Amino acid sequence: MQANSSLQDVAFRALDSFQIEIPSWGFANTGTRFGKFLQPGAASTLEEKFSDAGQVNKLTGATPTMALHVLWDLPNGVADAEEVHRLEARYGVSAGSINPNLFQNQEYKFGSLCNPSEEIREQAVAHMLDSVAIAGKLGSRDISLWLPDGSNYPGTQSMRNRIVWLEEALIRTHQSLAPNQRLLVEYKPFEPAFYHTDIADWGMAAHLAAKAGPQARVLVDTGHHYATQNIEQIVAWLLHTGMLGGFHFNDRRYADDDLTLGSIDPYQVFRIFHEIQLSGPELWPDVAFMIDQSHNLKGKMEAMVQTVVAAQELWLKAALVDRDQLERLQDECELVKSEELFRGTFWQDVRPLVKEWRAARRLPLDPLAALAESGYVKRISAERGAKLAPVTSYA
């Protein structure tokens, strides 16, 4: 525990400071490239997504914003802003980051911002500028860019030309930002491109953010790394250089699995949170915590609540590290003692402290149990499931 503070004081300050954005697409039917397994309670409209997000926020007290995908949630662009504002007021959740969609249109088969066709590149840039305008209309700070562009075979594309095209596109996007907006540049080593991806790692993303302008930062998706990569070291570097903008939190066993946070490696999330908390609470509002996961088999609502609760517990565990003592042991190269202090904090059961905080904030002591008892999932499954057409084939 940190010196000169009671355990409860530290816990309450940590949990009060923690907010994490949930994704609209986490409530919708999702699947794999082979098909979807439909759930009767899955959200199919923007209002249903806002309703679900509002329930998660009421249960956890930590999710006041919902990320939106432009084509999936805002097909009419800025014209949809009035409807979003109505839903925000009704369900008590605000629009969060705005996510452009550069991977769905057939024109983007050979790339979007990096397509050899100038006409298609212009179309993709126009979509980026529309996304910035939508964010402005909704009061959203972050435009979160994941770019699927790349190639599958050696010699089939000019990697150097594509770097230049991408730099130009991001500079133009940055020039359209309002003073309070940010452009977050995400990276991914492979998929859907398998030979080269145009933004393949954090170094490329950091270069592109710096090239774009001072309001651009790097976004780290915990599933977008090679197996065994040290993500917390990447986080430490991005913090050191002032380039860390935010996260898409999920978990993975093999590649970009998009599993619920902490389901495979909660220790990794703890280590990442520790690096962030080393920078002090004045930095935390500048780092956007967002969830990006696909609940293909788990219930949509249950999985989202489960992830948020896991994130709260892991954030609290990181807050309880005695950093003064840890620094002393590190400086003295006391390897076993420093590791045991670190591991020991992770292995603490913080659930009783979290319950105390929930009781003090008039939140359900057990959000998952409260969700089940509320009958919300049963109700939406009956209402929404009645609208589903029977599915016999995914061919």
pLDDT tens-digit readout, 141-193: 999 999 999 999 999 999 999 999 999 999 999 999 999 999 999 999 999 99
Q: Is residue 373 exposed (0-12), middle (13-18) or buried (19+ Cβ within 10 Å)? A: exposed
Q: Are 131 and 143 in contact (CB under 8 A)?
A: yes
Residue 238 has pLDDT above 80, yes or no: yes
198 Cβ partners below 8 Å, 6+ apart?
A: 111, 113, 114, 147, 149, 150, 159, 162, 163, 166, 204
In angstroms, the CA 138 to CA 99 distance is 13
pLDDT tens-digit readout, 356-385: 999 999 999 999 999 999 999 999 999 998
Residue 394 has pLDDT above 50, yes or no: no
Nearest to 294 by CA among 228, 223, 229: 223
Angle at 306 between CA 302 and CA 307, to 5 degrees: 120
pLDDT tens-digit readout, 275-318: 999 999 988 889 999 999 987 889 999 999 999 999 999 999 99
Fold of 19-300+367-385: TIM Barrel (3.20.20)
The string over 328-341, giving b where at least 16 C-beta atoms fall within 10 Å of a residue's C-beta and e elsewhere, is ebbeeeeeeebeeb
Q: Are 208 and 184 in contact (CB under 8 A)?
A: no
Residue 389 has pLDDT above 70, yes or no: no
How many percent of the chain have pLDDT more than 90? 90
pLDDT tens-digit readout, 66-94: 999 999 999 999 999 999 999 999 999 99
At residue 129, what are phi and psi to the nearest 5 degrees?
-65, -35
Which amino acid makes up residue 172?
R
Q: How is the chain split into domains, by residue range?
A: 19-300+367-385
pLDDT tens-digit readout, 247-260: 999 999 999 999 99
pLDDT tens-digit readout, 4-22: 459 999 999 999 999 999 9
What's the pTM value of the predicted model, to 2 decimals?
Answer: 0.95
